Amino acid sequence: MDAFQRQVRATLIQTLRDTGEAPSAEAIGNLLGVDGSQISAALHSLAEEHRLVLVPGTDQVMMVHPFSGVASDFLVTIGERTWFANCVWDGLSILALLGDGTLETHSPATGEAITLTVRNGAVEGNAVVHFLVPARHFWDDIVFT
């Protein structure tokens, strides 16, 4: 990752942090004062390096860990603000980064609602988190993982 790609990624993450939504390549370009085509190229390079994931065939950011750039089944809430996460791990990571709040999701087996609350850095809730894919294989299919 070169300095420009680092700047693009940092702007993307900061915007997700601040707004809960992934900015378009054009919006990132406007923030950085750079042409959108340069941003598009940087996003695709970052995706090739596994530093983010794009919606296939587009410049739209699907995920830049721990944030999801698209709606997901993992909703993080802190006060009045919300973010989508890619999984429980990422949802708890958002709470670790940004502060106490809740992660709402559901059991993939039963559909039962699950709420995990983080207070004073401790996770509260009645759920078992199971990571089906070993970490060394996350990028074999990161969207499934």
pLDDT in tens, 94-135: 999 999 999 999 988 888 999 999 999 899 888 777 777 777
What's the pTM? 0.85
* The predicted structure's pLDDT at residue 126: 80
Domain ranges of the chain: 3-61, 74-140
Q: What's the Cα-to-Cα distance from 24 to each of 117, 118, 143, rounded to whole Å?
A: 31, 31, 20
For domain 3-61, give the CATH number.
1.10.10
Distance, in Å, from the CA atom of 87 to the CA atom of 66, rounded to the nearest integer, reads 9
